[in-house]
Amino acid sequence: MSPEFNLIQEYFTRPTQHTTLGVGDDAALIALNPNMELAISADMLVAGTHFFSDCDPYGLGWKSLAVNISDIAAMGAQAKWATLAIALPDINQSWLAEFSSGFFACANTFGVDLIGGDTTRGPLTISVQIMGEVAKGHALKRSGAAAGDTIWVTGALGSSALGLAYLKNTTPLNGDVLNCCLNALHQPTPRTALGLKLQGIATSCIDISDGLLADLGHILKASHTGASLSLEAIPCIAYVREHLSEPAFQQYVLAGGDDYELCFTAPARVEKEILALSQTLNLPISPIGHIHEGEGITVSYQGKALQIEKKGYDHFD
Ligand code: ADP
Ligand code: MG
Distances in Å between the Cα of 57 and the Cα atoms of 38, 101, 102, 225 are 30, 9, 7, 41
**Predicted local distance difference test score (pLDDT) of residue 94:** 96
pLDDT average, residue stretch 181-196: 97
Q: Is 126 in the pocket of ligand 1 (CB under 6 A)?
A: no
| Cα–Cα separations (whole angstroms), residue 48 to 53, 60, 113, 133, 185 | 6, 13, 28, 33, 15
Q: Is the CB of 65 under 6 A from ligand 1?
A: no
pLDDT in tens, 27-53: 999 999 999 999 999 999 999 999 888
What gap in Å lies between CA 217 and CA 211, rounded to an integer? 10
Q: How many angstroms does the Cα of residue 4 sit away from the middle of ligand 1?
A: 9
Nearest ligand to the CA of 85 is 1
For 300, list phi and psi in degrees, rounded to 5: -105, 145
Q: Give dist(CA 166, CA 151) in Å, integer.
A: 30
Q: Whose CA is nearest to atom 7 of ligand 1?
A: 118
Does residue 140 surpass a pLDDT of 90?
A: yes
Q: Is 84 in the pocket of ligand 1 (CB under 6 A)?
A: yes
Compute the average pLDDT of residues 86-94.
95
pLDDT at residue 307, as a whole number: 80
Identify the pLDDT of residue 315: 53
225 near 294, Cβ under 8 Å?
A: yes
pLDDT for 312 equals 63
Measured from the Cα of 23, ligand 1's closest atom is 14
- Residue-wise pLDDT tens digits, 51-81: 888 899 999 999 999 999 999 999 999 999 9
Query: 26 in ligand 1 pocket by Cβ < 6 Å?
Result: yes
Sheet holding 304-305, edge to edge: 204-207, 262-266, 150-154, 285-292, 226-230, 297-301, 304-305
Q: What is the mean pLDDT of residues 283-297?
A: 97
116: which strand partners? 83
Residue nearest to atom 16 of ligand 1 (CA): 116
How far apart CA 261 and CA 156 sit, in angstroms, is 8
Tell me the residues surrounding ligand 2 (ion) with CB < 5 Å: 118
Task: Please report the pLDDT score of residue 310 as a whole number.
Answer: 61
Bridge partners of 88, per DSSP, are 121
pLDDT at 314: 56
Mean pLDDT of 97-117: 98
Residue 305: Cβ within 10 Å count = 10
Task: Quick: pLDDT tens for 154-171.
Answer: 999 999 999 999 999 999
Q: How far away, in angstroms, is 189 Cα from ligand 1 center?
A: 27
Confidence band (pLDDT; 50, 70, 90) for 255? very high
User: Rounded to an integer, what distance in angstroms lies between the CA atom of residue 213 and that of residue 296?
Assistant: 10
pLDDT-derived band at 267 (thresholds 50, 70, 90) equals very high
Are the CB atoms for 290 and 191 separated by under 8 Å? no
E-assigned strands of 161-273?
204-207, 226-230, 262-266
What ligand is nearest to the CA atom of residue 83?
A: 1
